[in-house]
Structure 1
Amino acid sequence: MFLKYGCCTALIGIIIALYFLPSPIDPEPFIFEKPPPALVGPLLVNQKLKRGQRVFEGVLKGPESFTADETGNLYTGTVDGKLWRIRDGQLFFITQMGQNLSECGIPDYEPLCGRPHGIRMDRDGHLIVADSYFGIYQVHPQTGEKTLLLSSEEGVDGVPFKFLNGLELSRNGTIYFTDSSNKWGRRHHRLEVIETNHRGRLLEYNPVTGRARTLLDGLYMANGIALSPRQDYLLIAETSICRILRYWLTGSKSGIKEVFMDNLPGYPDNIRISNTGTYRIGIATVRFPGLFPPFLDAIGPYPALKRFIAKVIPLSMYSALLRKHGLFLEVSDGGEILESFHDPDGSVTWATSDVYEHKGKLYLGSTDLPFLVVMN
């Protein structure tokens, strides 16, 4: 009897302690107005991603984004802070964005080692890299020499960068990029998604004048961006709310944002234009209809529940809760889904960050997976 009473008392004490324990997040309510789209028509589940093959397994961890030069070299950055060149099936180390430590690749060391996210090739043959922690860099692709163009500490408009992410270059050299959050760093991106606060920005940097400015703020985890073929607008992924915006750069709508796609079947990451003018959207995690609503849909309206979850579930556990279903979408310039590519059991890949077309092949990136997937 005393043992039973003591157990109940202890349990009540634990609950009270958890209730008063500070939560790392301060969420706002967010309601997904529609259930996830039905998996019919162009979204019908298929096996197309299973045509891909893993390469550099165990060597490249989290090749998140890609670019290429005129001679056929492919470039990417990985979660350990390194930049790589890929040529004829071989891998060549270019440089380390931060300190080259044996612990690089462990999340707690990312602020020291760096984490290259968006990567593009400029007109002069240099790599432009958005490092999530340090800033925007110009990097010589052969020597690895780095030039800091804009530091995260400096930021823009008096607000430092916390999580630099997407990157795009215009034909005139203008650099467009996103800062996913002014609160959370990349290694805490799952807290940013759960918190669902609008702390992201779309920004612009002029390499001639050295000036930067904010184009849009108040974005929900601003992530991948892509310029239209005419470069008259940008697409911006708002990852945490499964939406893509269009921001007009020229014309009568210049400076106006509008919804390009909403209620996506997953959380969008990078957006890349194909050789035929369509857009390919990497899906980091699927959001599928079922007997119960998706987890983030269900907890979205309840900030108190979000705070409690963030207190009791360690960040290392979140990956185990995610469904391993690989997916990317191909969409028209009107925001219509034309085709979807699935790996239903994730046996080849899942958590797709980027879909880059290069020399007749598709290169599929990821945030953390220890391989690169290539599709003919």
Structure 2
Amino acid sequence: MAESTRSVPPNSPAPPSTTTSWRAGLFLSAVITVLISLLLVHLDTFDAAPYSSDELAKRPISVLPRVNPRVLHGSEKIGEGQLKGPEDIVFDPKLGVMYTSCGDGWIKRVTLNDSVVENWVNTGGRPLGLALGYSGEVYVADAFKGILKLTEDGEIEALTDEAEGIKFGTTDAVTVAKNGVLYFTDASWKYDLHDFALDILEGRPYGRLMTYDPSTKQTKVIARDLYYANGVEMSPEQDFVVFCETPMMRCRRYYIHGEKEGSTDVFIDRLPGMPDNIHYDGEGHYWIGIAAEHTHEWDLARKYPYIRKLLAFLEKYLKRPSVEKNAGGVAVDLNGNPIARYYDRDLKSVTSVIKIREHLYLGNLVKSFIIRLNLTQYPATAPSSTMI
């Protein structure tokens, strides 16, 4: 029997191929996935705040007098493998040791001459900022424990962990005046250290600058509504303290004495990136750690709150993309004028920079060592035109 055939009209389209159908299905699945993801982001309760037009109009300093853009070239690794995230560094010239605060809870001591590392005191939390007292004691801003005092013998005394009935969310940095009064920052009363990125992405001022007077045991808020209040340092004349606001890329000044007592103003604005700790070197310069360079991506995120909401969603549930680079430090004079910048494209999360004699020491959140750079051998030099 002859096999029957079905006639096909001459103008009928050819049936879709398997490959074409697969691609169409894949595209449809991708579109559905994106739409569902956007819906989930939209329904998330995270609420990013808009920045003011004045703030958005600011641009970072385009040229510094001197730069070294290759900090890792010629640098040394101090205490490699023994220092987990050495966030802050202070130097005791009497003992010839550096104290550094590590991610495993240890305050470690590193001898300056031979770089021997000693486990000194474990706070049981996450120590961040450090300050050397005037009688050999060390003060610690512990992100989870509050302000601590460590005696020369390594005994821990908890001093304060709340102000105005509000617990510190992220106790960040501390400095001490000659009269014994401590000045310190609570980066965010809303978010703890684990969620620091959410504070920055939300864009609201939850930070505070405070004092603790050991003679009265009183804690006072002296400046509030700060944007992630970070590093703090006493002026040489003890008449003001400088503190950093990380996402605003600036440092401000709070006056302790004089005609401006109790007021604040801007010490340096439009930094080339996000500042962390700040330290005075005793030679007329403050050194500001720059955790991440300013980027065009951050400009867009600042301008459009929805982008920050999307990044916050990724931070909470998936993984936020990392664009941090060109971290390092900036030196400024006593009036906040920029003098030099040290950085490297492959550096990120630099949190503190201190100068000891002819060397620069850089602490960070992600490395297992302190970076040391010989400034005599690898100085910052005047560029013809350097965009940063």
Q: Is 1:63 matched up with 2:86?
A: yes
Query: Which residue of structure 2 aligns with residue 170 of structure 1?
Result: 177
> Does the 8 A contact of 1:49 with 1:327 survive in 2?
no
> Does the 8 A contact of 2:64 with 2:339 survive in 1?
no
* RMSD of aligned Cα (Å): 2.3
How big is the shift at 1:21?
A: 3.7
Query: Which residue of structure 2 aligns with residue 106 of structure 1?
Result: none
Query: Which residue of structure 1 aligns with residue 270 of structure 2?
Result: 263
Q: Secondary structure at 1:7's aligned position in 2?
A: helix
Aligned in 2, Cα 1:332/1:321: closer, same or farther, shift over 3 Å?
A: same
How big is the shift at 1:59?
A: 2.0
Query: Which residue of structure 2 aligns with residue 14 of structure 1?
Result: 36
How big is the shift at 1:200?
A: 0.3
> Does the 8 A contact of 1:275 with 1:357 survive in 2?
no
Aligned in 2, Cα 1:74/1:238: closer, same or farther, shift over 3 Å?
A: same
> Does the 8 A contact of 1:194 with 1:296 survive in 2?
no
Q: Secondary structure at 1:11's aligned position in 2?
A: helix
How big is the shift at 1:375?
A: 2.3
Aligned in 2, Cα 1:21/1:42: closer, same or farther, shift over 3 Å?
A: same
Aligned in 2, Cα 1:296/1:183: closer, same or farther, shift over 3 Å?
A: same
Aligned in 2, Cα 1:172/1:33: closer, same or farther, shift over 3 Å?
A: same
Aligned in 2, Cα 1:20/1:173: closer, same or farther, shift over 3 Å?
A: same
Query: Which residue of structure 2 aligns with residue 210 of structure 1?
Result: 217
Q: Secondary structure at 1:62's aligned position in 2?
A: coil
Write the deviation string for residues 93-140 of structure 1: whole angstroms up to 9, x where unpaired: 112211xxxxxxxxxxxxxxx110111121221211110111111113
Aligned in 2, Cα 1:68/1:156: closer, same or farther, shift over 3 Å?
A: same
Counterparts of 1:188 and 1:373, CA distance in 2: 26
Aligned in 2, Cα 1:315/1:15: closer, same or farther, shift over 3 Å?
A: closer
Query: Which residue of structure 2 aligns with residue 122 of structure 1?
Result: 133
- The TM-score normalised by the length of structure 1 is 0.85
> Does the 8 A contact of 1:325 with 1:351 survive in 2?
no
- In terms of Rg, which structure is larger? 2
Q: For 1:54-133, list aligned pairs within 5 A.
A: 54-69=77-92, 70-87=94-111, 88-98=114-124, 114-133=125-144
Aligned in 2, Cα 1:48/1:6: closer, same or farther, shift over 3 Å?
A: closer
Q: For 1:356-371, list aligned pairs within 5 A.
A: 356-371=354-369
- The TM-score normalised by the length of structure 2 is 0.83
Aligned in 2, Cα 1:352/1:9: closer, same or farther, shift over 3 Å?
A: closer
Select between 53-62 and 6-15 the one with higher mean Cα deviation: 6-15
How big is the shift at 1:323?
A: 3.3
Query: Which residue of structure 1 aligns with residue 308 of structure 2?
Result: 306
Write the deviation string for residues 160-218 of structure 1: whole angstroms up to 9, x where unpaired: 10001011011111110000001111121111121121110000000111111001000
Query: Which residue of structure 2 aligns with residue 27 of structure 1?
Result: 48
> Does the 8 A contact of 1:49 with 1:341 survive in 2?
no
Counterparts of 1:357 and 1:20, CA distance in 2: 47
Counterparts of 1:185 and 1:266, CA distance in 2: 22
How big is the shift at 1:7?
A: 2.9
Q: Is 1:135 matched up with 2:146?
A: yes
How big is the shift at 1:359?
A: 4.9
Unaligned runs of 5+ in 2: 1-20, 375-388
Query: Which residue of structure 2 aligns with residue 329 of structure 1?
Result: 330
Q: For 1:240-251, list aligned pairs within 5 A.
A: 240-251=247-258
Unaligned runs of 5+ in 1: 99-113, 289-293
Query: Which residue of structure 2 aligns with residue 101 of structure 1?
Result: none
Aligned in 2, Cα 1:258/1:315: closer, same or farther, shift over 3 Å?
A: farther
Write the deviation string for residues 66-97 of structure 1: whole angstroms up to 9, x where unpaired: 22332212211101111111123211111221
Aligned in 2, Cα 1:12/1:185: closer, same or farther, shift over 3 Å?
A: closer
> Does the 8 A contact of 1:156 with 1:214 survive in 2?
yes
